[in-house]
Amino acid sequence: MASRLARSAVGAARLRPTISPRTLPAVSSLVTARNQSTQSNVPTTDPKTKAQSIIDALPGSNLLSKTAILSSAAGLSIYALSNEYYVVNEETVIAFCLLSVWTGLIKYGGPLYKEWAESQNNKIKNILNAARADHTQAVKNRIEDVKQMSEVVEITKSLFEVSKETARLEAEAYELEQRTALAAEAKNVLDSWVRYESQVKQRQQKELAEAVIAKVKKELENPKALDKILQQSVADVERIFASSKSQ
């Protein structure tokens, strides 16, 4: 940049005759002298590297385009200055200062801004990605939950069949129960009838026996009957005796 200013100063000097032309040769001699004086004290870098870095700093992709750009820029500058299309004055100083500030801002502030903007974008991206991952996980969980119920139709159908079978069996069981109850009721009725009949029979037999006994007792009280019994008994004994004897 200093060289550019020096060139501008040289251009201004050419334009203005008030500046002594003897300053012009002094520029190169002073620069050389300064270089020689500083070389001894300041540790120097490799001249090849330094030269390469200067060449790399120039605009253009290869050496040819760099040379072309540099020579056209120099030619245009000389043309503009010599024809007073561009006049070097205090506005040039302001332009240099403002451009320096803008360049510094863009060069040093630009990467910082880019880094900040990217960090902001990454923050938003991370939030979105995390939300997306959470949503995916939630959907997967839901799928897993629902998957457990995937055979619910078949199970419901079989349950319905089972319930139908159960209802049918319950109906049969109820019917059988009713039949059993009816049979038990009938049996009870019949048993009661049997008991009643047996009681009636016992009572009739008892009454009959009592009537016979009473009649026999009454007959026994009658001497004629006793005689008749006795005679009958004797006759039976004799017959038994006679039969046993004959045998």
Partner 1 sequence: MYTNFSAAGCMDNLSPLSQFEVRDLINIDTPVLLNLHISITNIGFYLTIGAFFLLVVNLLSTNYNKLVSNNWSISMESLYATIHSIVTNQINPKNGQIYFPFIYTLFIFILINNLIGMVPYSFASTSHFVLTFALSFTIVIGATILGFQKHGLKFFSLLVPAGCPLGLLPLLVLIEFISYLARNISLGLRLAANITAGHMLLHILSGFTYTIMSSGFVFFLLGLIPLSFIVAFSGLELAIAVIQAQVFVVLTSSYIKDGLDLH
Binding site for partner 1 (CB under 8 A): 2, 5-6, 9, 12-13, 16, 19-20, 23, 26-27, 30, 87, 89-102, 104-105, 113-114, 117-118, 120-121, 124-125, 128
Q: Could you tell me the smallest distance in angstroms from the CB atom of residue 133 to partner 1? A: 16
What is the Cα 35 distance to its own chain's centre?
Answer: 73
Q: Which is nearer to partner 1, 114 or 215 (CB)?
A: 114
Compare residues 97 and 143 and give the one whose CB is closer to partner 1. 97
- The whole-angstrom separation of Cα 82 and Cα 100 is 25
Q: What is the dihedral sign for C-alpha 101, 102, 103, 108?
A: positive
Task: Name the strand (E) or helix (H) holding 4.
Answer: helix 2-15
In the bound state with partner 1, the residue whose beta carbon lies nearer, of 95 and 133, is: 95
Residue 92 C-beta-side C-alpha neighbours within 13 Å: 14
| Least Cβ distance, residue 9 to partner 1 (angstroms) | 6
Residues 240, 241, 246, 247: what is their CA dihedral angle, to the nearest 10 degrees? 70
Which of 6, 63 has the CB closer to partner 1?
6
Of the two residues 117 and 211, which places its CB atom closer to partner 1 in the complex? 117
N-terminal to C-terminal alpha carbon distance within the chain: 179
Tell me how far, at minimum, the Cβ of 89 lies from partner 1, in Å: 6
> Residues, the chain, total?
247
* Nearest distance, CB of residue 88 and partner 1, angstroms: 8
Rounded to the nearest whole angstrom, what is the least distance from the CB of residue 2 to partner 1 in the complex? 8
